[in-house]
Amino acid sequence: MSTSALVSSPASAQAQVSLRRRFAVWLGLLILLGIAAGLVTGPAGFSPSAFWADLQGQTGSLLIGQIRLPRTLGAALVGALLGLSGAIAQGLFRNPLADPYLLGSAAGAGLGAVLVLAAAALGGHFISLTTVAWIERVGLVSAAFLGALGGVMLTLVLARGAVQTLRLLLAGVVVGVLLGAISDLITVVSPDALRGKQAFMLGSTGFLGWNAIALMAAGLVLLLAAARRWARALDALTLGEDSAASLGLDLARVRLVLVLMLSLATALAVSQAGLVAFVGLVAPHLVRRRAPGPHGWLLVASAAMGAALLLWADVISRALIAPQELPVGVVTAVLGGGYLVWLLKQHGMGRS
């Protein structure tokens, strides 16, 4: 058995490389088709004829260049950030059910958004409407970003660093419950903030512009480069803590760096599009099932898969009940939850 394994290992490795190349081509086509579908989806739903009519009109360039194109590209970038952070989280905790919101980032972002919305609602009685509008536009994104990072930092403080993964997970649960309760309490005091909170919690790509795209693109490039640098550490963690330590890894330092990377990616995505569910959880699953490989491949492929998933979810959210729109987070939750239910049934049938 060992001899045959040794003989077949080069051919097996070559087959895996070929599989990953085919998967990358397929994924690239899926992303390109998703961008094209996003451009032709508007108030009339998925309609190429309406797209060409809009393009030939006087406001066609404005409609495409300032609304549909930035929204479509922004959806891809948000999905890529969530896919990347999900792959990091699952590798860090060695748990396929880990997702980017595990360490309190979701609750922190929600609390930051609620604080801004409540301040704007209550402050309208004391400050000008122009100032309130500025707070709602600029402050919401900044507060969600800082809130997400603050939630993760509070988790690290409660867990006394990133030395023990179990303590880190438990601290994340505690922080999520605590910050969520504070957020609910604020909405009781300021009911006007509840509607904005609900919109934020359901996720939306409708407000993404070129400034947000530039910020997310720069962040994604830097985080992908950093993640690939630490990919071999993630590979070592899959062998177990003792094996990773025997390879010379400083486990506390590695975990801390990985937590910071996944929290930055998550905060950047959440601050721009709200809480989009299941993308960070499902994207690494799909890559591992269809084209498994080391983390150097998995991290990049998960980011691409996340981009493809959110692109098509955004198209569905705009086309399904056009001219109205569904929250994109609801679409991703239904699709992601349906996929996990199917996966669970398939594994259950396999065991029986």
Proportion of the chain above pLDDT 90, given as a percent: 54
Determine how β-strand 41-42 pairs with β-strand 45-46: antiparallel
> Per DSSP, what are the bridge partners of residue 46?
41
Q: Is the pLDDT of residue 71 over 80?
A: yes
pTM of the model: 0.90
How crowded is the C-beta side of 210, counted as CA atoms within 13 Å? 6
Residue 314: give its domain's CATH number.
1.10.3470.10
Match 């051919």 to its residue by tokens: 11
Work out the number of other CB atoms within 10 angstroms of the CB of residue 264.
21
Q: Which pair of tokens denotes residue 95?
A: 């748990």
- Tell me whether residue 6 is in a domain: no
Determine the pLDDT at residue 223.
Answer: 96
Q: Quick: pLDDT tens for 263-306.
A: 999 999 999 999 998 999 999 999 999 999 999 999 999 999 99
Determine the pLDDT at residue 13.
Answer: 81
**What average pLDDT does this structure show over 293-322?**
95
Q: What is the DSSP string of 76-97?
A: HHHHHHHHHHHHHHHHHHT-TT
H helix or E strand, kind and range, residue 45: strand 45-46
- Tell me whether residue 47 is in a domain: yes
- Tell me whether residue 221 is in a domain: yes
pLDDT category, 1, cuts 50, 70, 90?
A: very low
Work out how many domains the chain is built from and give that number.
1
- Tell me whether residue 142 is in a domain: yes
Which of 259, 276, 352, 280 shows the shortest CA–CA distance to 314?
A: 276
pLDDT category, 242, cuts 50, 70, 90?
A: confident
The boundaries of the domain holding residue 152 are: 15-351
Determine the pLDDT at residue 6.
Answer: 38
Q: Name the least confident of 100-104, 116-120, 199-203, 314-318.
A: 116-120
- Tell me whether residue 32 is in a domain: yes
- Tell me whether residue 207 is in a domain: yes
The whole-chain average pLDDT of the chain stands at 86
- Tell me whether residue 161 is in a domain: yes
Q: Which residues contact 337 (CB under 8 A, 6 or more apart)?
A: 278
Which phi and psi angles does 41 have, rounded to 5°? -100, 120
pLDDT category, 9, cuts 50, 70, 90?
A: low
Determine the pLDDT at residue 135.
Answer: 55
Determine the pLDDT at residue 138.
Answer: 55
In terms of phi and psi (left: phi > 0; alpha: psi -120 to 50; beta: otherwise), the region of 203 is: left
Q: Is the pLDDT of residue 350 over 80?
A: no
The number of residues in the chain equals 352
Determine the pLDDT at residue 129.
Answer: 47
- Tell me whether residue 4 is in a domain: no
Q: Name the least confident of 42-51, 105-114, 330-339.
A: 42-51
Determine the pLDDT at residue 51.
Answer: 80
